[in-house]
């Protein structure tokens, strides 16, 4: 998913009232907890983890990772839809982030399983409300797993020399 800080703030504002008292964003070790993702990222940097809270307010259960995309200046190659490779020098590029989790339900009580499943559903619904499925592979075919925030899309369209990139290649928008 491609998001700039304004998209992260929109996601955080939408999710925060839905998780208050139920879950919190933390650093990897479970410290620095709160319901404002943007604030946690400002303190912790590139990633934060969404965790359920137990009755005493301590994090419990599986981790849901939010990895913030970053804007960097990158040299490399842009693979065009027509098969040409164009050299890219010092291109302002938004790199992909993610909201992901892995967990083994059998490692947790039925209560934690149910609560985490509901939390994951809520977080993904919120992120889908502030992002769009308008990302395509270099050949122009839609990449259904990738999404782009409204503000990130605006940022990208403001300057034709900007790009979005996953780990290995530049991607396209399917809709401006």
**What pLDDT is attached to residue 132?**
95
**How many distinct structural domains can be found in the chain?**
1
**For every residue of 135-154, which 3-state class applies, written as one string?**
EECCCCCECCCCCEEHHHHH
Over the chain, what is the mean pLDDT?
88
Segment 122-141 mean pLDDT: 93
**What pLDDT is attached to residue 78?**
66
Segment 117-137 mean pLDDT: 96
98 in helix, strand or coil? strand
Band (pLDDT 50/70/90 cuts) for residue 77 is: low
**What pLDDT is attached to residue 70?**
87
Residue 13's φ and ψ, nearest 5 degrees, are: -65, -35
Q: What is the pLDDT of residues 18-62, one digit of tens each?
A: 999 999 999 877 777 789 998 888 877 789 999 999 999 888 999
Segment 105-115 mean pLDDT: 94
Task: Give the ranges where the chain is alpha helix by DSSP (H).
Answer: 5-19, 37-44, 110-129, 150-157
Evaluate whether 3 touches 149 at the Cβ level (below 8 Å): yes
**What pLDDT is attached to residue 79?**
64
Distances (CA, A) of 156 to 83, 85, 171, 172: 22, 20, 11, 10
Q: Is the pLDDT of residue 80 over 70?
A: no
Band (pLDDT 50/70/90 cuts) for residue 136 is: very high
Q: Which domain holds residue 40?
A: 5-173
Segment 114-142 mean pLDDT: 94
């Amino acid at each position: 998913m491609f998001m700039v800080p304004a998209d992260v703030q929109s996601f955080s504002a939408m999710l925060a009232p839905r998780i208050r008292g139920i879950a919190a964003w933390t650093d990897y070790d479970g410290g620095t907890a709160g319901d404002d993702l943007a604030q946690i990222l400002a303190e912790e940097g590139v990633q934060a983890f969404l965790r359920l809270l137990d009755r005493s307010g301590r994090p419990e259960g599986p981790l849901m990772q939010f990895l913030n995309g970053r804007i960097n200046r990158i040299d490399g190659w842009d693979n065009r839809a027509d098969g040409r490779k164009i050299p890219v020098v010092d291109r302002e590029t938004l790199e992909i982030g993610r909201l992901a989790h892995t967990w083994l339900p059998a490692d947790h009580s039925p209560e934690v399983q149910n609560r985490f499943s509901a939390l994951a559903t809520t977080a993904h619904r919120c992120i889908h409300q502030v992002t769009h499925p308008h990302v395509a592979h270099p050949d122009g075919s839609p990449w259904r797993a990738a999404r782009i925030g409204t503000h990130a899309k605006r940022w990208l369209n403001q300057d034709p020399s900007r790009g979005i990139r996953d780990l290995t290649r530049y991607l396209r928008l399917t809709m401006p």
